[in-house]
Amino acid sequence: MSSAAARKPRPKYLSLRALLLEIRLPLPGWVSIFHRISGALLVFPFAAWLLYLLDASLLSESGYEKVKGTLGLPLVKLGMLVFIWAWCHHFCAGIRFLLLDINRGIELRQARFSSYLVFLISLALTAYFGAKLW
């Protein structure tokens, strides 16, 4: 029980520097942290924003046109693009986690490959819906 790892000082408090520069996540780690970040963004502000847009667009014809006009503004489109990315990533990574839960793709190679797929598919979907938005 006196391996090098066991002799390291514990607990190790992670500095911002360590988080940003020293810790290098493997690809599945990136899928995971972005799943968390995208989830938080979807809860707030995006859920509130979309509910507001749904509310205004269903209220009246002029409200609907106003929402349509708002969605045409470049900055708003950029916000929409972030929403689309967050949704696509959360969706794809979520399906991966569901498959892992039922023991599909838990071998290292498959897990790496599916992480790669999550990024590939979610970014492709983001590009597709982003293009439709513009």
Q: Which of 27, 32, 39, 111 binds another protein (CB under 8 A)?
A: 39
Structure tokens at 28: 């599945």
The piece of 2-10, 20-28, 60-68, 111-119 that touches another protein (CB under 8 A) is 60-68
Q: Does 55 bind another protein (CB under 8 A)?
A: yes
9, 38, 13: which is closest to 23 by C-alpha? 13
State the minimum distance, in angstroms, from the CB of residue 134 to another protein: 16
The piece of 19-27, 43-51, 72-80, 111-119 that touches another protein (CB under 8 A) is 43-51
Structure tokens at 112: 């790496």
Q: Does 44 bind another protein (CB under 8 A)?
A: yes
Q: Which of 28, 87, 114, 126 binds another protein (CB under 8 A)?
A: 87
Judged on CB neighbours under 10 Å (0-12, 13-18, 19+), 86 is buried
Tell me how far apart the alpha carbons of residues 95 and 116 are, in angstroms, rounded to a whole number.
Answer: 13
Q: Which residue has the tokens 């749904």?
A: 54
Question: Nearer Cβ to another protein, position 9 or 44?
Answer: 44
**Mask: binding to another protein, 91-110, rule CB under 8 A, as x and -?**
x--xx--x--x---------
| Spatial CB neighbours of 90, under 8 Å, sequence gap ≥ 6 | 35, 38, 39, 42
